[in-house]
Amino acid sequence: MAGPTECRPLRPGLAPGRMALLITAAGALAVCGLAALFAAILDNVLDGDGVTAWDGPISAWIMVHREPVLTTVMRSLTEVGNPPVLAAIMALAAAVTTLRVRTLAPAILGSVAVAGFALMVLTVKLAVGRPRPPVSERAIAIDGSSFPSGHATGIAVVALVSVWMLTRGRQGHRWTRAIAWIAAVVLIAAVGFSRVYLGVHYPSDIVAGWALGAAWAGILIAAGTAATPLWLGHPRGRRLCRP
């Protein structure tokens, strides 16, 4: 039986510290790949070439196929990506996890997640200054720069970090955790699509936002995994040993 400051191995013959190291390394590789994708799209946007050549045709096709009922659904769905809603979701996930493990680590992680992505999006928007699609194509009123999509970035960060915190260390069937992760990915995709459908972003804005948000989430998840020993002094916090 594991002692009060011990953590049971997650796999036979694999110590918790080594598992944390492997997860951190995998996260670092994923973050590098996502950062490279974001940088490539940013370069295309600044030069007006590459993937941006697809922005016009894709947006035009979607606009032609708009339907009144679907437009109403998309207007409601896109609200999930608004900053106040994202902050509320993150706060709820952090609060639930904090109460479960009885440490402030989840609350701190959630705060850093929201503040970090907001600062990154604002900085890039101001630096790039990409205009949004024409007003005539927009189904909702909105101002500001287009690149990257704050909604796409924010929902990627909040959904991924929230699901990671809520499912980490939970006992139960693996399929329940799988469903939670699938639901997060579907929500991320849906909110991103809604921005293009409503004519307030180009597809490249969305993909860049997903890459930026997922990269930031990856950094936070890797940091949270590496910081597992900080929670081991709390009996219930030992649940966080399981990824």
Strand partners, 215: none
Token couple for 111: 């705060």
Burial of 233 (0-12, 13-18, 19+ CB in 10 A): exposed
Burial of 75 (0-12, 13-18, 19+ CB in 10 A): middle
For the segment 184-199, the average pLDDT, to the nearest whole number, is 96
| CATH class, 16-241 region | mainly alpha
| Number of Cβ atoms within 10 Å of the Cβ of 18 | 13
pLDDT given for residue 19 in this prediction: 66
pLDDT band at 61 (very low <50, low <70, confident <90, very high): very high
For the segment 142-159, the average pLDDT, to the nearest whole number, is 95
More confident residue, 86 or 170: 86
Can you tell me the distance from the alpha carbon of 231 to that of 223, in angstroms, rounded to the nearest whole number? 13
Residue type, 123: T
For the chain, domain boundaries: 16-241
Q: Which of 20-29, 155-164, 232-241 is predicted least confidently? A: 232-241
Average pLDDT, the chain: 85
* Whole-prediction pTM: 0.83
**DSSP letters of 53-76?**
GGHHHHHHHHHHT--HHHHHHHHH
